[in-house]
Structure 1
Amino acid sequence: MSDSRSPRRPPAPKAALDALLADPAGNPIRRAVWLEELDRRLRPHLPPSLAAHAQLANVERGRLVFVVDAPVWRTKLRFAAPEILDAARSIGLDAVELVVKTALAPMALQPQDRRTQPPISEAAQRELRAALASLEAPVPCGSDDAA
């Protein structure tokens, strides 16, 4: 016989994302997470100058669809298509074609891997430090000079 005086513990709440993904309505979210992971895995295979300007947007029927933020990057990505398709096949995708679309609006900035960012010169670093220091310097009050 169970003790009816002991309080029942409520079930542990699921994390919001876990609950949403468990629901059939979570399919678009699962797909977005999957595409983001594929983009992360394919990004190192893009030419370094191009990585900040292109994003994997879709994969369907053997086609990789990338979006770029300017026509010049579209051309550069199309030249890199054979290497990108090989990389996609190496991670298990049945990739046979690369489609590149140009965004009409600026794309959201992606956090970039340090290896894809151009290095900043020592002179530029010195100037940035000097500019930051000038912002932190106290501003003299002009009321004492009026006397």
Structure 2
Amino acid sequence: MEEKWEGKVSTTLTKASADQIWPLFIDFFNFHKWFPNVSTCYGVHGTNGEVGGTRYCAGFSLPNKDGGANQVSWSKERLVAVDREKMSMSYEMVDCNVGFESYLSTIKIACGDGGQGCVVEWSFVVNPVEGLKYEDLVQKYQTGLDQTTKKMEDDLYHNNG
């Protein structure tokens, strides 16, 4: 059996605190507000931010099996663990057209050094994806996390600064 791909990326925010960033991530049904290339995201089952809550996401961030660059990539993702005290959440992909199988992702948010800012960590485990290189997938995660957290921080800073 092929080994799973495991990856972890992180980014450090200097202006926004963990307490400010966590609510934006746990707003599971509205991730399209923050993540680049996800144009649609909404709840299809359960309660937003609660274990069992399932969202539908669509966009153009990954190639899909349905044919072509102009075809929308989509996934259904279910929250499987939430630890509000530790600001950690895990979700699995239950269906998609991007070739991800046996996918589990975890997002953790920690206070930055000296209580300033925060660190956001995004890890994943997935079966190797046909047509994708591991290094390219990790880079997509890093770019996505950097763009997402910058947008979150900028929004918080401009709206509350």
Common fold: TM-score over 0.5: no
TM-score range, shorter chain: under 0.3
If asked which structure has higher relative contact order (CA below 8 Å, sep 6+), I would say: 2
Which has more strand, going by share of residues?
Answer: 2
TM-score by length of 1: 0.27
Q: TM-score, with normalisation over the residues of structure 2?
A: 0.25
Task: Please tell me whether Structure 1 or Structure 2 has the larger radius of gyration of its CA atoms.
Answer: 1
* Larger fraction in helix: 1
